[in-house]
Structures are given as C-alpha cells and as structure tokens.
Amino acid sequence: MKPKKAASTLTFLPLPAGRNPNRHTQQGMGQLDAAMSRQGYVAPMTAAADGTVLDGNARLETVATKFPGVAPLVVEHDGTRPVIMVRTDIASADDPLARDIIVSANRIAEVDLDYDVDVLRDFAAAGLDLAPYEFDAGMLASITGDVGAGMSEADARATLAERFGVPPFSVLDARQGYWQTRKRAWLALGIESEIGRGADAAPGGGARPACDYAERERGDGHGRPLASKQASKDSPTGRP
C-alpha cells in the first residue's frame, strides 16, 4: 500500500492511564521540550486507526505547547512500507542542526525511560510474549513475579554488585526495577532479612568472641580459637 497524506478528522489522544509501560522522567521530558524548541518537530508518532497514539506519547504531550493550533501532517499506511520524513530545511548530515538531532534523539530515548512494571505485568497476563524484548533476568522476574527466575547464585551475586548504586533510602521507590532486582538477588542467595538475628543478637551482630583473653588464647578470625588450642583444651593431657 502506498503511503498517502490524509486530511484526517481524527482526534489524536495519548494512551489511557495504565496502558503506557513508560512513565517517562522529568529529565527526559525536559530534554524533549528543549530539543523541540531548538529543532522543530523531528520524529513521527505512530497511532492506531482510532487515533490513539501508540508510540510518541511524550511528543504528543509536548507538541500541545510547542505547536498550538497547528494541524499535524498525517500519513496513513498499513506498515508494509517504510515511511521517511524528509526535513527540507536541513541540507545534509553536516549541518549543525543535524548533529544536534542525531545526539539528542538518542540521549532523550536513554534518559526518558522509566518502566511501569505493573503495566508490563498486565500486558503479560493478557498474553503478551515477553521473549522478544530480551529483558534481563531481574526485570523479567519483576514482571512475572517469579522470584529468582533465571538467576543462578553467581548471577545473583553479580547483580548485587553491579546494581548496588541506588538513590538514598529516604527517596527509595520499592516499585522500581532496580530495587526489585536487588530484592530478588537477595532471595536467590537465601537471605531472609525478615527473620532477623534473634533476641540474643549483639547490636553489631552475634556475640562470637574470637578468643579467651583470660587464657591468652588466639582466635582464627571466625569466632573460634585456633585449632591447636582447642585440641589442647579437649585433650585429657592438655596436649594436642
């Protein structure tokens, strides 16, 4: 089917609440707003036949203030041919504006992503196959609720090390993917923090003296006397 311009009477609307798996970020939306001020409109949106925007909800929100009263250029197609929008005001890729577009398009995509795991979980429950998206094991477990899914002990330890840097606990959002990934890694390692250390635990950990100073005894660094000393104490003769 040949793409064609259409004088559409559709009203273009964003995805309904609870249907967009990207919550977007303040930084990303700010960069998009600034980029659109510098560059004009760049990346086309994709909408369903009823006008619901599937890809480009952040752009739809931004154009409301950047292009008030301007009718959009609508191209109807069925997905069987590529659609390329040519910017006639940019002569070549060497144009300074072209360089700005190249960098900002990639940067905005990077900083404006904030997955809503609840939406992804609803999509999966409705039959969406998650395999094509190649989510890492932690994210996949967040969506499916399968604790430790696809995570060996080595993977769990690596995940804790690689993803340890998170916001301060005072601003921690336990729904975020990074926090859920850490939680699953702890569980995969057998850590059960909810059990606690028991009523007799010392403030800094269990009371485990490494040696008996009264007998001038050295410890092994693990809360036990040196093997030779312990053998001497257990021997009737006092010798190992």
The token pair at 65 is 């203030």
Residue 59: count other Cβ atoms within 10 Å of its Cβ: 19
Tell me, what's the pLDDT at 102? 97
3-state secondary structure 170-215: HHCCCCCHHHHHHHHHHHHCCCCCCCCCCCCCECCECCCCCCCHHH
Residues 26 and 16: their CA atoms lie apart, in Å, by: 20
Residue 240: count other Cβ atoms within 10 Å of its Cβ: 12
pLDDT, tens digit, for every residue of 133-180? 999 888 888 888 765 555 555 555 555 455 555 554 445 556 566 666
Residue among 154, 136, 138 nearest 146 (CA): 138
The HSE-up count of residue 191 (CA atoms within 13 Å, CB side) is: 14
* CB-based contacts of 197, cutoff 8 Å, min separation 6: 205, 206
Per-residue pLDDT band for 226 (boundaries 50, 70, 90) equals low
Residues 103 and 84: their CA atoms lie apart, in Å, by: 19
Residue 225: count other Cβ atoms within 10 Å of its Cβ: 19
Burial of 141 (0-12, 13-18, 19+ CB in 10 A): buried
Is it the case that residue 7 has pLDDT exceeding 50? no
The token pair at 62 is 């931004």
Residues 202 and 226: their CA atoms lie apart, in Å, by: 23
Residue 113: count other Cβ atoms within 10 Å of its Cβ: 13
- C-alpha angle 164/169/173, rounded to 5°? 85
Judge if pTM exceeds 0.95: no
Q: Which residues on adjacent β-strands are paired with residue 47?
A: 53
Do 142 and 116 touch, CB atoms closer than 8 A?
A: no
pLDDT, tens digit, for every residue of 59-106? 999 999 999 989 999 999 999 999 999 999 999 999 999 999 999 999
